[in-house]
Amino acid sequence: MNLRQLEYFVCVAEHGSFSQAARVLNVAQPALSRQVRLLETDLREALLLRTGRGVVPTEAGRRLFEHAVAILQLVDRAREQIRTGRNEPAGRIVVALPPSLGRALTLRLAAGFRSELPRAHLAIVEGMSAHIAEWIATGRVDLGVVYNLDASPAIETVPILEEPLYLVGPASAGGRSVCAEGESVRLAQLPGFPLIIPERTHVIRKLLEARAALAGIKLDVAWEVSSVPAILDLVSHGYGFAVLPYSAVTASGRPEQFRARTLVEPALSTTLFLAVSASKPATPLTLHTMRMLQAMLAPESDPERKQRPAHNALR
């Protein structure tokens, strides 16, 4: 077993295809297949199941994949720390962002890396908070921005800000019985609104359903959609209402198409965290990126957002 074989195996497993992995790695497909076969021979296990549509990991392959990703990440960090003898941020970092913030932060992060971290390479992926937590725990992601993350010994979190939740509807309600402009919406009124919300593992969905159960009310879930841009598309076309932080509305680039009203009695909010692995030491690049994200996510002066800073524990 060697690092090249692990790198080739991880790439094939991630893409589900030898041909696609060969293009990504810029190697000949026969050479790629040979290295994976040598790895299977060395371990005396079939790692990939060949199908008509590509390959999928076997049970042994899934176990190796988790170890291989962690090993490759550690090797990258070792190289990075050797290259940064003067404690200068360099190397590669993978940052995971929730869809509600991806559009707003990607351009600013890229600009920050270009101006402040010319020796570093940034990779950005998007995912729901539960998925981001799993990626951090398994080493696929170095740093994540997550909402209301459950406590985990594998992950360290830094609270950044608290965002109120709003009932988001179309700018023109098309005759629906809705509150007047600027009015707040009580939790007890939510059953009167057809909701477009994510699936049950999403933090906002769990928060809403927990509060509704305590209040003895049943929500009208009209559509289950886990993509925030898709949710807002449906809202703007009159399919229903969403419950989101206002940052998701501003990140859409078209806030004029929506009306956002504060949820009250009780007020509902989510807390935004920076999350990193608890088992890996933070590199200079990770710490610098955390500081950049913290500055970008700090509460803005725009009163419409009404964000409250959370306790800052950045280490």
pLDDT tens digits, one per residue of 170-190: 987 543 334 444 578 888 888
Task: Give the DSSP H or E segment for 202.
Answer: none
pLDDT for the residue numbered 83: 63
23, 167: one domain:
no
135, 216: one domain:
no
The predicted model gives 223-250 an average pLDDT of 87
Q: Which of 174-178, 235-239, 273-277 has the lowest mean pLDDT?
A: 174-178
Other beta carbons within 10 angstroms of residue 171's beta carbon come to 13
- For residue 197, is it within any domain? yes
Q: Is the pTM of this model over 0.75?
A: no
Residues spanned by the domain of 205:
162-270
- For residue 81, is it within any domain? no
**Runs of H (alpha helix) within the chain:** 3-15, 18-25, 29-43, 59-83, 99-116, 129-138, 203-215, 228-236, 246-251, 284-297
Task: Give me the CATH number covering residue 37.
Answer: 1.10.10.10
141, 190: one domain:
no
Model confidence band, residue 201 (pLDDT cutoffs 50, 70, 90):
confident
145, 279: one domain:
yes
Q: Find out whether 283 and 91 touch, Cβ atoms under 8 Å.
A: yes
Supply the DSSP symbol for 16: T
100, 133: one domain:
yes
Alpha-carbon distance of 18 to 193, in angstroms, equals 48
Q: Two tokens at 49?
A: 């199941």
17, 140: one domain:
no
Strand 242-245 and strand 48-51: pairing? unpaired
- For residue 76, is it within any domain? no
Q: What average pLDDT is seen over the chain? A: 82
91, 59: one domain:
no
The predicted model gives 137-157 an average pLDDT of 85
pLDDT for the residue numbered 235: 92
Give me the number of domains the chain comprises.
Answer: 3
In DSSP terms, 272 is beta-bridged to: 147, 161
Does residue 85 have a pLDDT over 70? no
266, 277: one domain:
no
Does residue 295 have a pLDDT over 50? yes
